[in-house]
């Protein structure tokens, strides 16, 4: 993607005004999007993202420049711009070291690349999802089915001599089904994907299953009364339910917040921050998972990182620059949406590990409360730990029995508080896919958990 001699020249130019570390991130990415709605394939769009970002550190401060012109002139212009942005310019003493490429085991492999798959085949996935969604009920008034894939080639090299490349291939489908009574609309969504090629649909994902699942949620919610308000116990099912950990705790363990003292978990390593039944892991090494990579976007190999072990805080997720701020080693967590973003610490595949409780007992011993079968998205303020997320499909529990579906519920609380109130962790851990937005843009992340229960949480409803 770039001649190493030119890369050396650009790094040295970037360092010429006193920088002490320089890095090049080069990206070439091909995207495809297909959208089927109104029972017909309406949009087929393809694109190519191409550019490079150059970063220079001066102490704990960083300069970042990026460009689409990755030929010799463009790269040197970009490097020069970075050098010129360094404030107290002095003679550059640091020089780029000769390149080396560390040996790396190939963990993530791809069998059928999107670029070698006919668009007709991709459209078939959408047709299957759409047909299945529509066949669930005649109350389904619309299904919007989207197929996306991308092949991303990255090259990362830096003035310490690192020179690595990585290929990430992503494939995903989404189905949003709408059920309508004419007066009211309710929707349900499913969005399965993986870091895989088209083999996703041969190995893991049956589009008809997910199309039907989205439609069933929409129909169930159309006939559900409003969720009541108040504080109650809540059981959250596996899969996307793991978004509770992602929001309530995950973001607050990213160096992005911790390094600036803007997290409620600052200075708490080694302390009990969650109930003893909680062990949480962030793992970027799982083969072909949605949030996996061989190396992060700074070229550091990804890791399996235990964040919380039996309730005790063990690790933060750390990128290179914030690692310097915190005086801690990077954990392979430096990620970015594209060359147009400087990297920062981000989650990868983050989940609460399986525990010892039976799902039946979790429900039967909860008395009156809420069973969240399917979660929507959420957000968090890491400084205070205040989080919120939506329940896409919820059921009222009465006397330990699932009674009736309810709509419109959201869950709120403070991370530190809710982690301590987890009183059950089931055995069947499952992950689900999301796009996580933060300082360095939108990146693919998995959330996951077995069924868990929180003994008391504020449920926002309307009844």
Partner 1 sequence: MNEFLKKLMNAAKAEGIEACEAYIVERDSFRAMVTDGDVTEYNTNATKGLGFRGMKDGKMGYSSTEAFDDNAVEQLVRGVVESAELSEDDDPVFLYDGNTETPKLDLTNDELYNLDPYEKIARVQAMEKAIKAYDERIDKAARNMIQTGRYTIRIINSYGMDRSFTEDSCVMYGQATAKQEGHIATGFFGRGGRSFELLDAQLIGSEVAKSAVEKLGAEQIPSGRYRVIIHRDAMVDLLETFSGIFSAETAQKGLSLLKGRLGETIAAECVTIIDDPLLLDGLDARPFDAEGVPSKAHTVVENGVFKTFLHNLKTAHKDGVETTGNASKAGYASSVHVSPSNFFIRGGHKSFEELLTEMDTGVVITEVSGLHAGANPVSGDFSLLSKGYMVQNGKREKAVEQITVAGNFYDLLKNARAMADDMAFPLGSMGSPSIDVGELSISGC
Q: Exactly one of 98, 103, 261, 399 binds partner 1 (CB under 8 A); which one?
A: 261
Q: Which of 26, 25, 102 is nearest to 56 (CA)?
A: 25
Q: Exactly one of 141, 165, 364, 455 binds partner 1 (CB under 8 A); which one?
A: 141
Q: Closest approach of Cβ 220 to partner 1, in Å?
A: 13
Q: Exactly one of 50, 80, 167, 223 binds partner 1 (CB under 8 A); which one?
A: 50
The residue range among 18-26, 117-125, 161-169, 362-370 that interacts with partner 1, by the rule CB under 8 A, is: 117-125
Comparing CB distances to partner 1, the nearer of 329 and 463 is: 463
The residue range among 107-115, 208-216, 293-301, 412-420 that interacts with partner 1, by the rule CB under 8 A, is: 412-420
Q: Closest approach of Cβ 309 to partner 1, in Å?
A: 26
Footprint of partner 1 on 263-322 (CB under 8 A) = 264
Q: List Cβ neighbours of 327 (8 Å cut-off, separation of 6 or more).
A: none
Start-to-end Cα distance in the chain: 59
Cα-Cα-Cα-Cα torsion 451, 346, 290, 196, nearest 10 degrees, comes to: -170
Comparing CB distances to partner 1, the nearer of 85 and 312 is: 85
Residue 131 in the binding site for partner 1 (CB under 8 A): no
Footprint of partner 1 on 86-105 (CB under 8 A) = 87
DSSP string, 292-322: --SB-TTSPBP-EEEEEETTEE---B--HHH
Q: Closest approach of Cβ 143 to partner 1, in Å?
A: 10
Residue 49 in the binding site for partner 1 (CB under 8 A): yes
C-alpha–C-alpha distance, residues 384 and 72, integer Å: 47
Angle between helices 119-135 and 207-222 (to 10 degrees): 30
64, 97, 316, 317 from 59: Cα distances, Å: 14, 19, 22, 21
* Contact string (CB under 8 A) for partner 1, positions 337-366, x = contact: ---x-x------------------------
Per DSSP, the three-state class of 446 is strand
Q: Closest approach of Cβ 146 to partner 1, in Å?
A: 12
Q: Closest approach of Cβ 178 to partner 1, in Å?
A: 6
Residue 138 in the binding site for partner 1 (CB under 8 A): no
Residue 262 in the binding site for partner 1 (CB under 8 A): yes
C-alpha–C-alpha distance, residues 358 and 309, integer Å: 21
Comparing CB distances to partner 1, the nearer of 107 and 231 is: 231
Residue 399 in the binding site for partner 1 (CB under 8 A): no
C-alpha torsion sign, points 122, 126, 129, 135: negative
Comparing CB distances to partner 1, the nearer of 104 and 463 is: 463
Q: List Cβ neighbours of 374 (8 Å cut-off, separation of 6 or more).
A: 188, 217, 237, 239, 240, 241, 391, 392, 393
Per DSSP, the three-state class of 434 is strand
* Contact string (CB under 8 A) for partner 1, positions 159-198, x = contact: -------------------x-x--xxxxx-----------
Comparing CB distances to partner 1, the nearer of 178 and 425 is: 178
Beta bridge partners of 448: 351, 431
Comparing CB distances to partner 1, the nearer of 328 and 354 is: 328
Q: Exactly one of 192, 193, 413, 448 binds partner 1 (CB under 8 A); which one?
A: 413
Q: Record the tokens describing residue 125, joined without a space.
A: 């996935």
Footprint of partner 1 on 377-396 (CB under 8 A) = 377-379, 381, 383-384, 386-390
Q: Closest approach of Cβ 304 to partner 1, in Å?
A: 28
- Helix-strand-coil percent breakdown of the chain, rounded to 5? 20, 40, 35
Comparing CB distances to partner 1, the nearer of 35 and 353 is: 35
Comparing CB distances to partner 1, the nearer of 44 and 402 is: 44
Q: Which of 443, 430, 428, 28 is nearest to 195 (CA)?
A: 443
Reported residue count of the chain is 463
Q: Closest approach of Cβ 64 to partner 1, in Å?
A: 5
Contact predicate 49/27, CB 8 Å:
yes
The beta-strand segments (E) located in 99-238 are 140-158, 163-180, 185-190, 193-194, 230-236
Q: Closest approach of Cβ 419 to partner 1, in Å?
A: 16
Q: Closest approach of Cβ 448 to partner 1, in Å?
A: 18
The residue whose two tokens read 């212009």 is 77
Which is it for strands 441-449 and 349-352: parallel, antiparallel or unpaired?
parallel
Comparing CB distances to partner 1, the nearer of 185 and 359 is: 185
Comparing CB distances to partner 1, the nearer of 167 and 414 is: 414
Q: Exactly one of 1, 3, 20, 68 binds partner 1 (CB under 8 A); which one?
A: 68
DSSP string, 93-137: ---PPPPB----------SS-GGGS-HHHHHHHHHHHHHHHHHT-
Comparing CB distances to partner 1, the nearer of 136 and 144 is: 144
DSSP string, 330-350: --S-EE-SSTTS--EE--SEE
Q: Exactly one of 161, 209, 260, 368 binds partner 1 (CB under 8 A); which one?
A: 260
């Amino acid at each position: 993607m770039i001649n190493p001699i030119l890369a050396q020249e650009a790094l040295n130019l970037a360092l010429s005004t006193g920088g002490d570390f320089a890095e090049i991130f080069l990206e070439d990415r091909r995207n495809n999007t297909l959208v089927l709605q109104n029972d017909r394939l309406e949009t087929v769009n393809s694109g190519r993202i191409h550019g490079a970002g150059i970063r220079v550190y001066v102490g704990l401060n960083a300069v970042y420049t990026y460009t689409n012109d990755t030929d010799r002139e463009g790269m040197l212009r970009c490097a020069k711009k970075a050098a010129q942005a360094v404030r107290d310019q002095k003679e550059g003493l640091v020089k780029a070291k000769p390149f080396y490429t560390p040996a790396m085991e190939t963990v993530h492999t791809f069998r059928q690349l999107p670029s070698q798959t006919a668009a007709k085949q991709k459209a078939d996935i959408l047709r299957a999802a759409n047909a299945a969604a529509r066949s669930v009920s005649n109350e389904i008034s619309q299904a919007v089915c989207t197929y996306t894939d991308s092949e991303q080639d990255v090259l990362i090299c830096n003035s310490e001599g690192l020179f690595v490349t990585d290929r990430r291939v992503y494939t995903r489908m989404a189905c949003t089904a709408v059920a309508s009574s004419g007066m009211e609309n309710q929707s349900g969504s499913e969005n399965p994907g993986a870091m895989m090629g088209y083999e996703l649909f041969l190995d893991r994902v049956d589009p008809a299953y997910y199309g039907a699942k989205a439609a069933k949620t929409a129909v169930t919610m159309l006939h559900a009364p409003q969720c009541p308000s108040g504080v109650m116990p809540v059981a959250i099912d596996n899969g996307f339910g793991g978004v509770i950990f992602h929001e309530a705790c995950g973001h607050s363990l990213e160096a992005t917040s911790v390094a600036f003292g803007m997290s409620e978990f600052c200075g708490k390593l080694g302390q009990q921050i969650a109930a003893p039944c909680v062990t949480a892991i962030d793992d970027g090494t799982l083969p072909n998972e949605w949030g996996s990579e061989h190396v992060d976007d700074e070229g550091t190999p990804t890791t399996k990182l235990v964040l919380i072990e039996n309730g005790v805080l063990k690790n933060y997720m750390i990128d290179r620059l914030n690692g310097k701020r915190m005086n801690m080693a990077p954990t392979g967590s430096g990620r970015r949406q594209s060359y147009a973003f400087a990297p920062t610490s981000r989650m990868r595949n983050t989940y609460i590990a399986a525990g010892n409780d039976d799902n039946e007992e979790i429900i039967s011993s909860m008395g009156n409360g809420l069973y969240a079968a399917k979660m929507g998205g959420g957000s968090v303020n890491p400084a205070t730990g205040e989080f919120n997320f939506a329940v896409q499909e919820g059921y009222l529990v009465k006397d330990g029995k699932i009674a009736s579906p309810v709509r419109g519920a959201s869950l709120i609380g403070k991370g530190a508080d809710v982690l301590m109130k987890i009183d059950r962790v089931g055995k069947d851990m499952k992950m689900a896919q999301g796009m996580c937005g933060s300082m360095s843009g939108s990146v693919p992340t998995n959330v996951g958990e077995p069924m868990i229960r929180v003994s008391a949480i504020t449920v926002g409803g309307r009844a």
